[in-house]
Chain A
Amino acid sequence: MIRRFYQNHRALFQKLDTLWLRSPILTRGLAIAPLIVVCNSVLRACALSLCYGLMLVLTVIFSRPIPQTLPYTIRVILNVSIAAILFIPASYLTELWFPGSLSRLGLYLPLLTVSSLIVQHTPIRFHRMPFRSMVLDLILNAGGFFLLAVCLGFVRELLGRGQLYGTDLSISFTVPAILLPFSGFLLMGMAAALAKKVYLFLNRTPRSKRKEKRNHE
């Protein structure tokens, strides 16, 4: 039933797929490093997502007027420079709303400046889309990053520290190893597999139609 509903409204859902099922983070690993290493609490996840969302959306919008006639190298340098300029207000706001996050996130906050989504996707994907679709895609990308970061931060904080948003839940059994980068890789792998499983399920042709096709052949 869910699959039929999805397939009947495929055009709408395909637009929203960037949020989770076809998110470039889960399908190609773009902008994955901060999630793997530093995203081990909900607070860090929120701080990281705020900075990333602001930088991604504003960089792509502000770099749109850069003429396509310029050589690719120059366009990339200009895009990343705009991202680095926007890092100043974005990180300032992040520190204002989540005090201490600059030191907690270390080099992974400035690393967002050279995120593959900004460097590679901006000139070859985002700038080739109509403005409205581009803004929607950017918001979905940022939203997808936020959802993934919060889920990952929630699981790692709960199991690794026995806390939730910094509040101790008095859980006696914790697994501190889940806070380390290798657990980040493993959990991201599981999340990517889950997203792919759901995507394959939703896009599979129903059994009756498959039988019909086989009989026809």
Chain B
Amino acid sequence: MNEFFLSLKDAFLNSTVTALTVIFVENAIFTRALGVSTAFSIVKKKGYLLPFGLVLTWITLASSFLSFSFEPFISKLPSAYYFRPLLYVLMIGVVYILTLSLCRALSKRFYPTLRPMIHLSAFNGAVFGSMYLCNLSRYRLLDIVPFSLGIGIGFMLAVYLLSLGYDRLNSDKISPSFRGFPIMLIYTGFLSLAFYGLIGHELVF
């Protein structure tokens, strides 16, 4: 019994460390630029941040779980590298349709609000990249949940940090040629530099 609780404690600690690392140290946007164009489009609509983050977290979790389940079959395929994107796209497609159907069935009130967010987050660099990273890092089933949660929450954190500067970076005080997208990229670059300082080395991709 004691051993069971010890292993449970270990699993919990490992999951927490994985999630915190993915959120704060290996943030998908700042360290790997995954889903950066989506982040820039979401940053303009501040009310979208939380629901979009939740939708993205769910789609990442479900897709990563599917890719983990099918990995033994995929890795046995001859030239698996070439076929992997197609199989991942089909998996995301299944999750995409399932999420839309579930949303429509469960909440007719929120469906019109959530639908564009589902469209935007399904085939997203963060979701697709996380499926690859799960495979690259050789995560076990127990690590998939904290990793996917970390990707989603890390995405929300990154968009929140970007939204803090958005209004000021779009004001008249900024030179017209830098105003808007160019200065947002430079601001993201500085935040990325700060995150790089936490890791101290380049991440694998």
Interface set of A (CB-CB < 8 Å, partner B): 26-33, 36-38, 72-73, 76-77, 80-81, 83-85, 87-88, 91-92, 102, 106-108, 110-111, 113-114, 116, 119, 180-186, 188-190, 192-194, 196-197, 200
A114 partner, pick from B41, B123, B189, B205, beta carbons under 8 A:
B123
B1 interface hit (Cβ, 8 Å): no
Known: A88-B82, A88-B83, A181-B32. A189 touches B196 (CB 8 A): no
User: Which residue from chain A places its CB closest to the CB of B31 in the assembled complex?
Assistant: A181
Q: Is the beta-carbon distance between A73 and B97 smaller than 8 angstroms?
A: yes
B204 interface hit (Cβ, 8 Å): yes
A28 partner, pick from B81, B127, B181, B189, beta carbons under 8 A:
B181
B37 partner, pick from A29, A197, A200, beta carbons under 8 A:
A29
Q: Is the beta-carbon distance between A193 and B33 smaller than 8 angstroms?
A: no
Residues of B within 8 A of A73 (CB): 96-97, 100, 119
Q: Is the beta-carbon distance between B93 and A192 smaller than 8 angstroms?
A: no
Q: Is the beta-carbon distance between A92 and B82 smaller than 8 angstroms?
A: yes
Q: Is the beta-carbon distance between A80 and B82 smaller than 8 angstroms?
A: no
Task: Report B133 CB to chain A, min CB distance, Å.
Answer: 7
Q: How large is the interface on B (under 10, 10 to 19, 20 to 34, 35 or more residues)?
A: 35 or more
Residues of B within 8 A of A85 (CB): 86
User: Which residue from chain B places its CB closest to the CB of A186 in the assembled complex?
Assistant: B189
Residues of A within 8 A of B150 (CB): none
B177 interface hit (Cβ, 8 Å): yes
B176 interface hit (Cβ, 8 Å): yes
User: Which residue from chain B places its CB closest to the CB of A105 in the assembled complex?
Assistant: B205
Known: A185-B192, A200-B177. A116 touches B185 (CB 8 A): no
Interface set of B (CB-CB < 8 Å, partner A): 30-38, 40-41, 81-86, 88-90, 92-93, 96-97, 100, 119, 122-125, 127-129, 132-133, 136, 176-178, 180-186, 188-190, 192-193, 196, 202, 204-205
Residues of B within 8 A of A114 (CB): 89, 123-125, 127-128
Task: Report B56 CB to chain A, min CB distance, Å.
Answer: 13
Q: Is the beta-carbon distance between A106 and B204 smaller than 8 angstroms?
A: yes
Residues of B within 8 A of A36 (CB): 33, 36
User: Which residue from chain A places its CB closest to the CB of B32 in the assembled complex?
Assistant: A37
Most buried by A among B41, B84, B100, B181: B181
Q: How far is the CA of A73 from the CA of B102 in the complex (A)?
A: 14
Q: How far is the CA of A102 from the CA of B93 in the complex (A)?
A: 25
Known: A77-B96, A91-B82. 5 other contacts (CB 8 A): A29-B185, A73-B100, A77-B97, A110-B85, A192-B182
B90 partner, pick from A81, A108, A116, beta carbons under 8 A:
A81
B178 partner, pick from A87, A108, A193, beta carbons under 8 A:
A193
Known: A33-B34, A81-B90, A107-B136. A189 touches B125 (CB 8 A): no
Residues of A within 8 A of B177 (CB): 193-194, 196-197, 200
Residues of A within 8 A of B178 (CB): 193, 196
Q: Is the beta-carbon distance between A32 and B33 smaller than 8 angstroms?
A: yes
B86 partner, pick from A26, A29, A81, A197, beta carbons under 8 A:
A81
Q: How far is the CA of A92 from the CA of B24 in the complex (A)?
A: 36
Q: Is the beta-carbon distance between B185 and A38 smaller than 8 angstroms?
A: no
Task: Report A204 CB to chain B, min CB distance, Å.
Answer: 10
User: Which residue from chain B places its CB closest to the CB of A72 in the assembled complex?
Assistant: B119
Task: Report B182 CB to chain A, min CB distance, Å.
Answer: 4
Q: Is the beta-carbon distance between A84 and B202 smaller than 8 angstroms?
A: no
Residues of A within 8 A of B88 (CB): 84, 110
Q: Is the beta-carbon distance between A190 and B89 smaller than 8 angstroms?
A: no
Residues of A within 8 A of B204 (CB): 106
Residues of A within 8 A of B36 (CB): 29, 32-33, 36
Q: Is the beta-carbon distance between A102 and B125 smaller than 8 angstroms?
A: no
Known: A33-B125, A87-B86, A114-B125. A107 touches B33 (CB 8 A): no
